[in-house]
Amino acid sequence: MADVTFTVDGKKLTAPAGTLLIEACRKAGIEIPAFCYYPGLSLQAACRMCVVRQEKVPKLQTACTTPVAEGQVFITESAEIAQARKSTIELLLGNHPLDCPVCDAGGECELQDMTFKYGAGESLYTEAKQHREEQQWSPAVFYDRPRCILCYRCVRMCGEGMDVWALGIQNRGARAVIAPNGGDQLDCEQCGMCIDVCPVGALTSGSYRYKTRPWEMNHVSTVCTHCADGCKVTLGVRQSNDGSTIIRADNRDKSGINGDFLCAKGRFGFDFVESGDRLTKPLVRDAQGKLESATWEHALRFAAARLKEIRDAKGGSSIGIIGSNTTTNEENYLLQKIARTVLGTNNIDHVRTADYATFSRALAGKASRTVGLRGIAEAPAILLVGSNPTDEHPLLAWELRADVRLNRARLYIANTAEIKLERQARAALRVPPAGYTQLTGYLAGGKSSISDTTFRDALLAEESLVVVIGPELSGATLQSLIEWGLGREHVKFALLGDFANSRGAADMGLSPDLLPGYVPVTAPGDYAAEYPNLPRAPGKSLPEMLSSKLGALLVVGADPVAQQNVAPDVLKSTFVIVQDLFLTETAAIADVVFPSASLYEKTGTVTNTYGDLQLAKKAADHAGVKTDFEILVRLADALGADINKLVPFGKSSVTADLGQSRGAQAGEADRHAVWLAAQGLEPKLSPFDPIAVLDEIERLVPGYKLDRLNLFCGNDVATEPGFVPVSALTATATIEPAHDGLFTSGLLSRYSPALKDLEKHQSAVPAVAVAD
Amino acid sequence: MTNETMSVFSTELSARFDKLVAKYPVRRSALVPMLLYAQDEVGYLSDAVIADVADRIGITELDVRNVATYYSMLRFKPAGKYNVQVCTNISCMLRGGYEIFEKFQDELGIGHKGVSTDGVFSLEEVECIGACCWAPAIQVNYDFHDDLTPEQVPGILEQYRAKAAQGGKNA
Amino acid sequence: MPKLVSHPDEVKIVSKRFGQGAANIDKYVELGGYDSAKKCLAQGPDWIINEMKASNLRGRGGAGFPTGMKWSFVPKQSAKPKYVLVNGDESEPGTCKDHLIFLHDPHSVIEGTIIAGLAIGAKLGFIYLRGEYRYLLEIMEKAVADAYEKGFLGKNIFGSDTEFNIITQSGAGAYEVGEESALMESLEGKRGVPRIKPPFPAVVGLYGGPTVINNAETIATVPHVIAMGGEAFAAVGTPRNGGTRLFGLSGHIAKPGVYELPMGYNLKKMIYEVGGGVRGGRGLKAVVPGGSSTPVLLPEEIENIGMDFDQVGKAGSMLGSGGVVVIDDQTCIVEFALRTISFYQHESCGWCIPCREGTDWLKKALTRFHAGFGVAKDIDNIQYLAENMMGRTFCPLGDAAAMPTLGFVKKFRKEFEDHLNGKPCPYAKHADLAVV
Ligand SMILES: Cc1cc2nc3c(=O)[nH]c(=O)nc-3n(C[C@H](O)[C@H](O)[C@H](O)COP(=O)(O)O)c2cc1C
Ligand code: SF4
Ligand code: FES
């Protein structure tokens, strides 16, 4: 819409005609208070806090429902307006408890802030307040009606935002209450969005309530460690006896790619970090065959000595490495670099949840044909193939719903099974079981067993299209779909994998045939000079490694024994080293186990499945553990590797450790490091500084030319996959989608009591009709 | 579709609902009257009534409850066979509405929203019922009685008691 | 059965068929019924709207908006179907006129709805009655069925190729549903919470289509306007206030009832001559001129008031729904104020803060106050909060609660003070008012 000019508090402002005054003002830095208004949700005009005076209009107007037009004149702060707001607050406080000191929302309550601002300090009310008992609706959500100001944000968020519609309003007038769909129980996705948007302490979080005061926490924005969507999550951290503890997760700064959104896993699933099952000491198998705790020094020396022995005796090809889907890019990069340059092997792989290699090969040489999550979120038309984002990619599902609702985007779905997002879809195509192979032919207009042509016609009429592809499509099927799209203008792609950094694992060369950036080991280009001794033949894939009785196996953050159903005695003669948070089934048979830090306890970058790169910042600290990065550096050091070559730290031979490795104090140093980095003064003073490796990644990995300042400011920055011509993929990739649901997260959720509780609650709530 | 034999409603009411939902441009428009008619037959909006109505309209039970709890004539607990609703709003109050209400309280031995032990009567103080010029007025179920004096109260109760004894249907 | 009353000053237009069995369609036709609809069918929309404008008929629901003008706001072309909505939610305390129309002259409502439909190009009308009016709903349903049978409704009304249908609808107890947009919500099967305006119903109303909504009396007046001609109707009333109106006299009046009097009829005369004065020869303390939401007038204020929208407005109150409630000098105004605010507290939909909390606060404060536990500051607080509700709520219900409250405290401050310091209510009858 055309821009219009209007006046607010004497200032001339410009905004597109029809913009809501409250939004136009916010953009111009004029804050208009509001309880009920929430961007992106339907309008209410119920709280009457946003009243403003409009010239020539007799009554005060609500800024949340006033569209701006040319020449309007508004006043947003005056004695009259302040009085209106003050009296509204006074009225509200009539029934609202005045016990802020013991309210869970004290210190982050919008009502408290407004009361302070408008000085409604005198209680005019002497009557008894309406009282109701607090209710627990689920393990995650508590409701306290007396504190509720009936702004209906929760109801709208649940219905409009989440498309779950589990909250309602019952009774009327002062007796009105918010009510859950299951009588006194909440049957929903347990995302906790209702808690998040509640401006007061009416909805509180089962996992956080009454644990602390908000100002006692440090709020660290990092990246969620669960699914591959990569939500920014703010962790509330407090000092504790053995480091610092995560008390809460939310997304208070709302600046991430997830905007307002966070799912149950992101919000409640951080508690695995504090699990009593965490490993805190290295373990070494003793002469009796028992795993016993050992010092780091001993464990490292022991592991390195055996590795060296095996490498020197049988060659690098007798060693295998299995990497992780949740470790950082820097750790993954370093892992493959150690494999290829220190251990001398291409036997490196990870559990592949999507065929990123084919994706990258199909797109080789085609710039600007992939799309990040922000691009999907505003795409006018989307084709979703072979996935159920509601369960597996909650953020994607949120964005697609919002795109349809707010931008009238057209969503097309081709899937073998019916999925919930079809409620938002303009058209849905039911693909026959195992029928994705026919999809390209169908789209291209050729013969296929799919007969519904209206779907195709509507799709082909779209001028531009974003194709979001689920992990069910891999290999030739994936390739042909992408080729079909490349044949049309304005078609872009995204591929859905699982886990926080699967894409990063693939991008960083945790593959037997591909170097970081999908550069073939057979044609290593720049890597030839960078990686002396790089073996030129592709190594063994994960299944091959497990079946070929290797001399040694280094497993970082993975559990192949459990995941691949390996019979334990297969690895009997293999020297196994495991780095993990828990004593997994693989760790249980290992010879050396190193206790590692979770993603919430380290700094580094991760790449979500859409190729958006974000900086994970260290939030918590767990005594005894080390980051995988540090463990790998120390292991390489013990192997006698030249650390300066491995990690290009200390520009002008400065090698002082500024404290990054110093346990409980490390957060401070990390923040300092981040600050330095943001100023362009990168420290890289320590070999344990992953940012040093980020430099190398940027230099060597095609597609990782980064907007650093933005990255270090906590924003997501785009990457593009390799785009180096990949000749052929030698390894036969087995793709194993995780199919995690709302409360499962691969190997982690079993250590999260919160997620287990939610899962249990959801399976137990009476089968009330959730709208779907 | 609701299976007729499973419905909590009589065949007649079920048939009426089938017609009702089809009558409007939008199915949901039948909701408010349907709840009232359902209550007339069943006596109150039980969980089963809510579930059945939700099913007939094609919305969630939560949705039905959101709406049902808004309207003051709808109730979620059984009332007496004859629900005595005494208006005490201004026009009635000025002409003795409270005296009428008190008389009913005395006669029935119950208060606001009470139900007599035999289940024949319940009593409610209600807002204006649109009979201000013939005040004080009451409604027994849907019957109006106007221009009342406390002395008439026993007679009114007697009339309905007799009806109840005959097994008369809800008025 | 509601009693019918009469007085020589009455000008019976809308009520002329009351008591004549006009609920029977043949009788209605015999009395000239449906002629206006036929005439309108022949004359077309522009003519109808011109007649309506000329009539100076103003809405009888309370706000007094000119009906012809309202109809003319409906866009001629519309992608969505248009609707006529008859508001028979009649719930404003002091008001029972629509009750008599549904009872005695249901076909006038149907005929008026047809005419409104012809004027705006709607094919469907709804007649919404409050849930308590079940027997009246049954009368209306029968009348609608009869009209279908005669071919006055349906695919080809009166043998023309014009279609018009009517659906009757029952509410289930909610004053707020009388508010036009809340009524639409209710009719769509939702909670009776009003909608954000603009857009106004004439542009986006029921099911998103342009909708004319009128009070039942307004609609029942329409056939008479057409029959008499707009100008002749206008001539009955005062400038800008055409015709007659059904005034309900209730409270401490000797001869309560619904009287049809010309707009502008003197209020004092209405009470003392038409209504026979204050019951039992008592003194007059105050008059609520137009339903419970209109501020009270003192005896000295009613001397020269003609009962039309403009004159009552000028006197600082409102003509509202035409429900005149007479209060004698032995009535406690605090109790009256409490009963009034209890009603609004009970009926507030709860959507917006000032109304939901304001009515709740006022009710609690007045309850305590009337029970003799008031302190001097309460009086100021009541006034302060009512003043701060005014004009700030989402819909006019908040104003409807605040306005009369302000009237009571400002005009009867002394009587409030008489309740202070543990003094029992000087008129104590129901100091322990039951709480609805
Ligand atoms: C709280 C509230 C309650 C109302 N109740 C009624 C009502 O019961 N009947 C009615 O006709 N109008 C009622 N109105 C007025 C309607 O909103 C609307 O103005 C009217 O139906 C329009 O018809 P008219 O122009 O013919 O008066 C109410 C308004 C408000 C704000
Ligand atoms: S003013 Fe009252 S009735 Fe109107 S919207 Fe607000 S709460 Fe509801
Ligand atoms: S934000 Fe405008 S009324 Fe609440």
Residue with token string 């000191």: A101
Query: Do residues A498 and A319 lie in contact, with contact meaning Cβ atoms separated by under 8 Å?
Result: no
Nearest one of A137, A47, A66 to A758, comparing CA atoms: A137
The whole domain housing B110 covers 82-165
Please check whether residue C436 touches A, CB under 8 A: no
Nearest one of A393, A401, A388, A374 to A466, comparing CA atoms: A374
B2 confidence band (pLDDT: 50, 70, 90): very low
DSSP-assigned letter for residue A316: G
What pLDDT does B88 receive?
97
Which value, in Å, is the radius of gyration of the alpha carbons in chain A?
28
Peptide bond into B136 cis (omega under 30): yes
Residue with token string 């695995």: A272
The whole-angstrom distance between residue B130's C-alpha and the CA centroid of its chain comes to: 16
The answer to whether residue B1 sits within a structural domain is: no
Query: Do residues A269 and A747 lie in contact, with contact meaning Cβ atoms separated by under 8 Å?
Result: no
Task: Name which of A376-390, B157-171, C102-116 the model is least confident about.
Answer: B157-171
Residue with token string 């038309």: A381
Residues A170, B65: C-beta atoms closer than 8 Å = yes
What pLDDT does A731 receive?
60
Q: Which two tokens stand for residue B138?
A: 């009451």
Please check whether residue C369 touches A, CB under 8 A: no
Tell me, yes or no, whether B87 and B154 share the same domain. yes
What pLDDT does C260 receive?
98
The answer to whether residue B76 sits within a structural domain is: no
Residues near C210 by beta carbon (within 8 Å), at least 6 away in sequence = C74, C75, C78, C80, C82, C83, C120, C201, C202, C203, C204
Per-residue b or e along C73-90, where b marks 16 or more CB atoms closer than 10 Å to that residue's CB: ebeeebeebbbbbbbbbb
What pLDDT does B7 receive?
83
Q: H or E stretch including B139? A: strand B138-140
> What's the burial of B12, exposed, middle or buried (CB within 10 Å: 0-12/13-18/19+)?
exposed
Q: Which two tokens stand for residue A72?
A: 């309007």
A688: left (phi over 0), alpha (psi -120 to 50) or beta: alpha
Q: Is A569 helix (H, G, I), strand (E, B) or coil?
A: helix
| Start-to-end Cα distance in chain B | 30
Q: Which of B68, B90, B114 is the last residue before a domain boundary? A: B68
Q: Which two tokens stand for residue B118?
A: 């035999």
What are the φ and ψ backbone dihedral angles of A230, each rounded to 5 degrees? Answer: 75, 45
Helix spans in chain B (H): 11-23, 31-42, 47-57, 61-68, 90-94, 97-108, 153-165
Of the two residues B1 and C221, the one the predictor is more confident about is C221
Q: Where are the beta strands (DSSP E) in C290-403?
A: 306-307, 323-328
Q: How many Å apart are CA C194 and CA C176, to the nearest integer? A: 8
Please check whether residue A95 touches C, CB under 8 A: yes
What are the φ and ψ backbone dihedral angles of C92, each rounded to 5 degrees? Answer: -70, 120
Q: What is the CATH number of the domain that holds B33?
A: 1.10.10
Q: Which of B68, B92, B114 is the last residue before a domain boundary? A: B68
Residues near C355 by beta carbon (within 8 Å), at least 6 away in sequence = C344, C348, C349, C389, C393, C394, C395, C397, C398, C401
Q: How many Å apart are CA A241 and CA A239, to the nearest integer? A: 7
A482 confidence band (pLDDT: 50, 70, 90): very high
DSSP-assigned letter for residue A147: G
Strand order through the sheet with A612-616: A604-607, A612-616, A717-718
What are the φ and ψ backbone dihedral angles of A579, each rounded to 5 degrees? Answer: -110, 120
Taking the CA of B70 as reference, the closest ligand is 2
Tens digit of each residue's pLDDT (9 = 90 or more) over C215-265: 999 999 999 999 999 999 999 999 999 999 999 999 999 999 999 999 999
Query: Do residues C348 and C355 lie in contact, with contact meaning Cβ atoms separated by under 8 Å?
Result: yes
Chain A interface, best mutation among C392, C393, C394, C405, by max A CB count within 10 A: C392
Q: How many Å apart are CA A670 and CA C174, to the nearest integer? A: 61
Please check whether residue B54 touches A, CB under 8 A: yes
Quote the crossing angle between the two packed helices C397-411 and C333-347, to the nearest 10°. 170
Q: H or E stretch including A377? A: helix A373-377
A650 confidence band (pLDDT: 50, 70, 90): low
Tens digit of each residue's pLDDT (9 = 90 or more) over A13-70: 999 999 999 999 999 999 999 999 999 999 999 999 999 999 999 999 999 999 999 9
What are the φ and ψ backbone dihedral angles of A427, each rounded to 5 degrees? Answer: -150, 145
* Arithmetic mean of pLDDT, A312-321: 96
Q: Which residues line ligand 2 (CB under 6 A)?
A: C 176, 194, 348-352, 355-356, 393-395, 397-398
Tell me, yes or no, whether B63 and B96 share the same domain. no
What pLDDT does A653 receive?
40
Q: Is A161 helix (H, G, I), strand (E, B) or coil?
A: helix
Which CATH number does C244-328 carry?
3.10.20.600
Other residues' Cβ atoms within 10 Å of the Cβ of residue A345: 24
According to CATH, the topology of domain C25-236 is: Rossmann fold (3.40.50)
Report the residue among C14, C86, C92, C221 best suited for mutation to probe ligand 1: largest number of ligand atoms under 8 A from its CB. C92
Other residues' Cβ atoms within 10 Å of the Cβ of residue C27: 14
The answer to whether residue B49 sits within a structural domain is: yes
Report the residue among C55, C180, C397 best suited for mutation to probe ligand 1: largest number of ligand atoms under 8 A from its CB. C180
What pLDDT does A658 receive?
46
Query: Do residues A244 and A664 lie in contact, with contact meaning Cβ atoms separated by under 8 Å?
Result: yes
Q: Is A725 helix (H, G, I), strand (E, B) or coil?
A: coil
Domain count, chain B: 2
Hey, which chains touch A, using 3+ CB pairs under 8 Å? B, C
Amino acid at site A382: I
DSSP-assigned letter for residue C260: E
User: Ligand 3 centre from C213 Cα, in Å?
Assistant: 27
What pLDDT does B4 receive?
46
A654 confidence band (pLDDT: 50, 70, 90): very low
Nearest one of A172, A81, A165 to A118, comparing CA atoms: A81
Helices and strands of chain C, counted as H and E runs: 17, 10
Tell me, yes or no, whether B103 and B147 share the same domain. yes
Q: A59: which chain C residues are within 8 Å (Cβ-Cβ)?
A: 391
| A593 strand-pairing partners | A283, A578
| Percent of chain B scoring above 70 in pLDDT | 94
User: What are the boundaries of each domain within chain C?
Assistant: 25-236, 244-328, 333-417
Query: Would the CB of A85 count as within 6 Å of ligand 3?
Result: no
| Residue owning the nearest CA to atom 4 of ligand 3 | A47
DSSP-assigned letter for residue C82: P
Please check whether residue B62 touches A, CB under 8 A: yes
The whole-angstrom distance between residue A759's C-alpha and the CA centroid of its chain comes to: 20
Tell me, yes or no, whether B48 and B107 share the same domain. no
What pLDDT does B3 receive?
45
Q: How many Å apart are CA A368 and CA A490, to the nearest integer? A: 10
A671 confidence band (pLDDT: 50, 70, 90): low
Query: Do residues B128 and B72 lie in contact, with contact meaning Cβ atoms separated by under 8 Å?
Result: no
Tens digit of each residue's pLDDT (9 = 90 or more) over B108-156: 999 999 999 999 999 999 999 999 999 999 999 999 999 999 999 999 9
Residue with token string 């609706």: A137
Tens digit of each residue's pLDDT (9 = 90 or more) over A335-379: 999 999 999 999 999 999 999 999 999 998 888 899 999 999 999
According to CATH, the topology of domain C333-417 is: de novo design (two linked rop proteins) (1.20.1440)
Residues B67, C189: C-beta atoms closer than 8 Å = yes
Report the residue among C56, C130, C215, C395 best suited for mutation to probe ligand 1: largest number of ligand atoms under 8 A from its CB. C215
Nearest one of C335, C318, C331, C401 to C374, comparing CA atoms: C335
Residues near A524 by beta carbon (within 8 Å), at least 6 away in sequence = A515, A531, A534, A536
C357 CA to chain A: closest CA distance, Å? 6
Q: What is the ipTM of this complex?
A: 0.94
C259: left (phi over 0), alpha (psi -120 to 50) or beta: beta
| Percent of chain A scoring above 70 in pLDDT | 93
Nearest one of C355, C297, B31, B82 to A91, comparing CA atoms: C355
What pLDDT does A664 receive?
41
Considering the entire predicted model, what is its pTM? 0.94
Chain C interface, best mutation among A124, A169, A178, A200, by max C CB count within 10 A: A124
Q: How many Å apart are CA A485 and CA A469, to the nearest integer? A: 12
Per-residue pLDDT of chain C (436 residues; tens, 9 = 90+): 799 999 999 999 999 999 999 999 999 999 999 999 999 999 999 999 999 999 999 999 999 999 999 999 999 999 999 999 999 999 999 999 999 999 999 999 999 999 999 999 999 999 999 999 999 999 999 999 999 999 999 999 999 999 999 999 999 999 999 999 999 999 999 999 999 999 999 999 999 999 999 999 999 999 999 999 999 999 999 999 999 999 999 999 999 999 999 999 999 999 999 999 999 999 999 999 999 999 999 999 999 999 999 999 999 999 999 999 999 999 999 999 999 999 999 999 999 999 999 999 999 999 999 988 899 999 999 999 999 999 999 999 999 999 999 999 999 999 999 998 777 777 866 545 444 4
Nearest one of C254, C322, C261 to C292, comparing CA atoms: C322
Domains of chain A: 3-77 (3.10.20.740), 92-205 (3.30.70.20), 283-354+502-722 (3.40.50.740), 356-496 (3.40.228.10)
A205 CA to chain B: closest CA distance, Å? 22
Residue A684 pLDDT exceeds 90 = no
Query: Would the CB of A47 count as within 6 Å of ligand 3?
Result: yes
Please check whether residue C383 touches A, CB under 8 A: no
Query: Do residues C228 and C132 lie in contact, with contact meaning Cβ atoms separated by under 8 Å?
Result: no
> What's the burial of A3, exposed, middle or buried (CB within 10 Å: 0-12/13-18/19+)?
exposed
Query: Do residues A753 and A760 lie in contact, with contact meaning Cβ atoms separated by under 8 Å?
Result: no
Q: Which of B54, B63, B70 sits opposite A172 (nearest CB)?
A: B70
Q: What is the CATH number of the domain that holds B125?
A: 3.40.30.10
What pLDDT does A649 receive?
77
Residue with token string 């990069």: A333
What pLDDT does A679 receive?
52
What pLDDT does A661 receive?
43
Nearest one of C271, C418, C216 to C334, comparing CA atoms: C418
Q: A179: which chain B residues are within 8 Å (Cβ-Cβ)?
A: 62, 65-66
Q: Is A16 helix (H, G, I), strand (E, B) or coil?
A: strand
Residues near A736 by beta carbon (within 8 Å), at least 6 away in sequence = A351, A352, A353, A563
A164 CA to chain B: closest CA distance, Å? 11
Residues near B15 by beta carbon (within 8 Å), at least 6 away in sequence = none
